[in-house]
Amino acid sequence: MSADMLELVLMTVVTAATPLIIAAIGELVAERSGVLNLGVEGMMIVGASVGFAAAFSSGSTLIGALAGIAAGVVLSSLFALLAIGLAINQVASGLSLTILGVGLSGLMGAPFVGQKREAASRLAIPYLSDIPYVGRLVFGEDMFVYAAIALVAACWWFLNRTRAGLTLRAIGDNHHSAHALGLPVRRVRVLSTLFGGACAGLAGAYLSLAYTPFWSPGMTAGRGWIALALVVFASWKPWRVVLGALLFGGATVLQLHAQAASIGVPGQLLSATPYLATIVALMILSIGARRNAAAPAALGQPFVATR
């Protein structure tokens, strides 16, 4: 395999992994605070729809990305109202959010079906981008890829090196004890949920603005559910999310090459291969990790303040 071909394959893997990294890192922060939001898929698909509509109308990828983030925040605020403000079951609220998001995305994106625009521009640094094997991979990605890497690093630092991160983890482990110590349980959970929604909306916007620069209903194709699985299998550690997302990206590239080679396997089975392969691989990798890390003890439990 030539250097250019290898670099192209690796860039494709990173591209396929990026929306998962962004969505999963937001959900990881929410879950570390004790909030289980199963509405990631719904927030992603609305972010994709609104992001493309805004970018197509304005001609700006940045405006589209910001619109996708805003859409995710709006939907996550609805979830926060139900699950945190009214203490309604988080699983039911999240599933309802996904159903709502799929319906809203189809409605808002209907006028833009079949429309196309230029994909998000990639960085190009003279000389550095021309380095064999790694030039374009490291110095020639779009802004979403670098944003994903920055998010992972920032979340790791926040959760492990700051007082606010310690507060968030304490609330996720025991919200009643945290409340007794005077920690703002609801406020921290609401902010964490909104952050998760912003990341899900940005991940969806990436799909319609960079990954496939057009809008089509259902284009998230279950990536929101994969992002949820990545958080669990990564044992709620940011850098392990990256590994799981890259596994999914690699499996996606392999199935695309398999379909192009016409190996005689039904296309539907090949399309399911990345999801199956990722789940199996992450389950194997997580066997040892589960011994050293467990889910936040208060994950999914509604909090009702008591005096």
Q: Does the structure show a pLDDT above 80 at 84?
A: yes
Residue 178 has pLDDT above 90, yes or no: yes
pLDDT of residue 293: 58
CA angle 262, 265, 267 (to 5 degrees): 80
In this predicted structure, the answer to whether residue 198 has a pLDDT above a threshold of 70 is yes
User: Distance (Å, rounded) from C-alpha 216 to C-alpha 212?
Assistant: 10
Identify any residues that bridge with 122 across adjacent strands, giving them in sequence order. 142
CB atoms inside a 10 Å sphere around CB 134 = 15
Percent of residues, the chain, with pLDDT higher than 90: 62
For residues 255-277, average pLDDT:
68
| CA atoms of 21 and 144, how far apart (whole Å) | 10
What's the 3-state SS for 78-130? Answer: HHHHHHHHCCCCHHHHHHHHHHHHHHHHHHHHHHHECCECCCCCECCCCCHHH
CATH topology of domain 3-289: ABC transporter involved in vitamin B12 uptake, BtuC (1.10.3470)
Dihedral class, residue 221 (left if φ above 0, else alpha if ψ from -120 to 50, else beta)? left
User: Can you give the C-alpha Rg of the chain in angstroms?
Assistant: 20
Residue 305 has pLDDT above 80, yes or no: no
pTM over 0.95: no
Domain ranges of the chain: 3-289
Place of tokens 């700051």: 162
- What average pLDDT is seen over the chain? 88
